[in-house]
Structure 1
Amino acid sequence: MLTELLTGGREMPVWLSLLVAFVLAPALALLVLWLLHALLDRLLSASNARVLQRVMVDGRSAVRVAVALLAIQAALPEVDLPTEASRAASRAAALGLVVALGWAATRKVAAVFDSYMVEELGENADWLQRRRRTQLIVFRRLAVSAGVALTAGLVLTAIPAVRTVGLSLFASAGVAGIVAGLAARPAVSNLIAGIQIALTQPIRLGDAVLVEGEWGHVAEITSTYVTIATWDQRSLVVPINYFTERPIRNWTKTSAQLLDTVFVYVDYTVPVAALRAEAQRILETSPLWDRRVFAVQVTDLKERSIEVRVLMSAANSGAMFDLRCLMREELVAFLAKHYPKALPQTRFTLSEAQAA
């Protein structure tokens, strides 16, 4: 109808056909889409629909491209273009539409996951928050990878030349399938390990872990590897299937709170009650102690000293490390000042002849 209004029923010139198919039709479609987005934004702004708002915003560029290509495909049969040119333009628009729709769908699915990951996790985040964020990140990457692979497959099958070459190469290639399976085994193993980690949660983002003798926090979980940010600001990159095949030490599996000890080796003459009172004073005056656990006990008797264990608690691993250092420094200073003879000593006795 639009073409009839523009031409009055006469044959449409080529330049006008191009203008209608590639400019006016996409422009009208994009105008309608803009009005629809404006209406939805206004409706959703008054509500607390965070997920819908994120889904509406993310991927708008892809949606615009898809709508414009769809308008071009709808307008091409209505304009007077040469048959070959119209067919080529329609094929290109259809191919671009597949890419744009795959792009838009992938962005929309990723937006659903992103809407639940806006908050950052600190070291004191509880295990439920860590578990949810880890699962969201792993499954988001899987969903995005699946969307990209599906889109690429649809694009390749839509190109006759590529489809023909692919079918001719793999029609009788049983050996190639076996080789591809063997080559893809590490990738499949890592993919399965990523799904296992997302479901069973041996580690989560932000967890304090001890891996290969290195202490650090889980900074990144991808489909193939895990990045551990060590205490000295290095990055330890570990294959993801490592965490499903080997034991690791997770300090924050259920909580970031920790118990730890400081051992002091002193002479048998030390007054343990005074040492206990000083350790309690150190903890009560330090903000690093979370006031959950405290104990001072003699845990062993050595040949030349006794072993005194100071048990204490802290809110997280960083605070615990600083608290252990503080306890050692203060106890050594206390003993050196008030009970210097209580520090470990070596005794020997002279006979009367040697003394004379």
Structure 2
Amino acid sequence: MLNYESIKPLLFKLQPENAHHVAEFVLRLPNICQIPFNPFLESHFINDAILHQEIFGRKFLNPVGLGAGFDKNATMIRGIQTLGFGFTEIGTVTPKPQEGNPKPRMFRHIKEQSIQNAMGFNNDGAYKVVKRLKKRYPFTTPIGINIGKNKVTPDKEAINDYTHLIKAFDGLGDYFVINISSPNTPGLRDLQNEEFITELFAQAKALTQMPILLKIAPDMKTKDAVALTKMAVEKGADGIIATNTTIDYSLVKNPQEIGGISGAVLKEKSFQIFEAIAKELYGKTTLISVGGIDSAEEAYKRIKAGASLVEILSGIVFHGPDMIMNINRDLVELLKADGYENITQAIGADRK
């Protein structure tokens, strides 16, 4: 694999969304060519038994996954896996195809090692993504399906979009993620309320045996985030993902006034919300932490706080794909240094 630092200046000369298209072209090749995958032969895939765990009835070979927003259309599953990820979350997928928000809609904050995006759930729609997953699932590593409502769907009808997607994708992934926390669809975050979540999980749990997780925003008051996630679990959520991007534009020096910010500046804010939720829900549900994770030390901090899995995305832009391998390799050493024989012993260590 090419040295990322040598090609990063070239990629950074491109508009961020165009650079993403370049990465997508490269990562689609293993899908198109049907290149077989062997975790024991892939140089970037850390396959150490100390990292293995079973969640949702599937084996996760390592705890580092790719967060939703990168592989929106399930076109890069094989390529992503060769980078070393233990699981992939596709989407966000909506029932109907949509182009998303006007361009430009993705921006780099280079000094802050962060990304601001206002993409707006641009994706091919459920029909095409279902067809792709039918060809590839089940896959060697687990696949999560992140689902959201179409922009044109009124909030009062939003539940129909989510139930439509659950029926369409049932059996084609290892878990669903309910996305009502993106800042890029008008009114979406308003669905982070007890009435909607209660009705959604009542209907969703009757439609599928697949686990259904809820992803929340980092901009809620801590007590509200804890109350909402606790209630979601009581209503049937099988896990919580914390957090989505932030609209706290004070975190970067020259923000755009649209979209959500991810990356290094989200690290503290995301962890504070996750920590509060974990204090309440560790041991009661599966917790996944995302937001500003760019090292094994940060991943290990989230794991000891109660995360069974972690997700990364923006950090790859600034540190390159070797970051995944480095996090997993160094996690092995951190676990061994603390005397653990398996990662499951470290999960929630700070809660015990």
Q: TM tier, shorter chain? A: under 0.3
TM-score, length basis structure 2: 0.20
Return the structure number with greater helix share: 1
- Structure with larger Rg: 1
Q: Which has the higher contact order (CA 8 A, sep 6+)?
A: 2
TM-score, length basis structure 1: 0.20
